[in-house]
Amino acid sequence: METLLEVQEKITPMPRIGDSAPSFQAVTTQGMINFPDDYKGQWVILFSHPADFTPVCTSEFMTFAKLEGKFANANCKLVGLSIDGLYSHIAWLRTIKDKIEFKGMKNMEVKFPLIEDITMEIAKKYGMIQPGESKTQAVRAVFFIDPHGIIRAVIYYPLSLGRNFDEIYRALIAMQTADEFSVATPADWQPGDDVIVPPAGSCGTAKERVESANGEMECTDWFFCTRKLDKKKVLDTVLKN
Ligand code: BEZ
């Protein structure tokens, strides 16, 4: 006999890259939010964690709190979620601020909203409950949602693995760069590295590219063309200051 959760898992499709972010209203540590409408015009990182008062999650929240300003400077807001209640969230965030030290961080105040989701309604909508990992705790999901409310990237981590915040920030800046400059970004790209010029759409263009690659673009073959993109130009475009 299947459990209700197993049945629901089958009928609730997980949101995918390119989908509109499922909408919801939620109670958070910063008041009610209407998602994603309240965030129109901004990027949002919506992330889940397994539970309050757990060590890996604590280290992640302290790190997000430290980096909140850096994400804000890239026009990106942070919103957290776990299957805990509001008072648990408040007590946990207070304990973090008052007592916890991690990698030189202390007195860390989490100012971004943390959603209460005791019913798991939002977690299920976003495929954050992955029963093979846990039926009662959300996995560590990271949804990157663009200023039009479209899901642009999703990263999932298991319960035991703390996230890599350098990669989360790199992915955000890379997607913003791709949007602003109509390029793609190669493996391990960082601002200042060469970018990929999207593949030619026709045989004629491909041939032309290889034969006449000008100073701007370098083609090692018809499908592999790169160009320089100045770090300052990238950062001046995607960062507020
Ligand atoms: C943690 O955040 O420490 C944690 C949460 C759930 C399972 C394992 C670790």
C-beta of 56 in contact with ligand 1 (< 6 A): yes
Decide: 157 and 149 in contact? Cβ < 8 Å.
no
Type of residue numbered 84: D
Model confidence over 149-193: pLDDT tens digits?
999 999 999 999 999 999 999 999 999 999 999 999 999 999 999
C-beta of 22 in contact with ligand 1 (< 6 A): no
The answer to whether residue 57 is catalytic is yes
Q: What is the pLDDT of residue 212?
A: 61
Least confident among 56-65, 116-125, 195-204: 195-204
- Among the listed residues 89, 95, 108, 234, the one whose alpha carbon sits nearest the alpha carbon of residue 176: 234
Q: What percent of the chain has pLDDT over 90?
A: 86
Which residues, 6 or more positions from 202, have their beta carbon under 8 angstroms from its beta carbon? none
Mean pLDDT across the stretch 69-74?
98
Report pTM: 0.93
From residue 63, how far is each of 104, 134, 178, 193, 197 by CA, in Å? 11, 24, 26, 26, 34
Q: What are phi and psi of 77, to 5 degrees?
A: -100, 155
d(C-alpha 210, C-alpha 213), whole Å: 6
C-beta of 57 in contact with ligand 1 (< 6 A): yes
Give the CA-trace dihedral at 129, 135, 140, 142, to 10 degrees: 0
CA of 142 to the centre of ligand 1 (A): 16
Q: What are phi and psi of 89, to 5 degrees?
A: -55, -50
Sign of torsion over alpha carbons 219, 169, 81, 240? negative
Integer-rounded Cα radius of gyration of the chain: 21
Decide: 93 and 114 in contact? Cβ < 8 Å.
yes
Which H or E run contains 98? helix 86-99
- Among the listed residues 88, 42, 44, 80, the one whose alpha carbon sits nearest the alpha carbon of residue 64: 80
Structure tokens at 228: 């320089």
Residue 10 pLDDT > 90? no
Mean pLDDT across the stretch 23-47?
98
E-only strand ranges, 135-237 = 140-145, 151-157, 195-196, 217-221, 224-227
Residue 92 pLDDT > 80? yes
Q: Whose CA is nearest to atom 1 of ligand 1?
A: 56
Mean pLDDT across the stretch 122-131?
96
Type of residue numbered 134: S
Which H or E run contains 178? helix 165-181
Model confidence over 188-233: pLDDT tens digits?
999 999 999 987 777 777 777 766 656 689 999 989 999 999 999 9
C-beta of 55 in contact with ligand 1 (< 6 A): yes
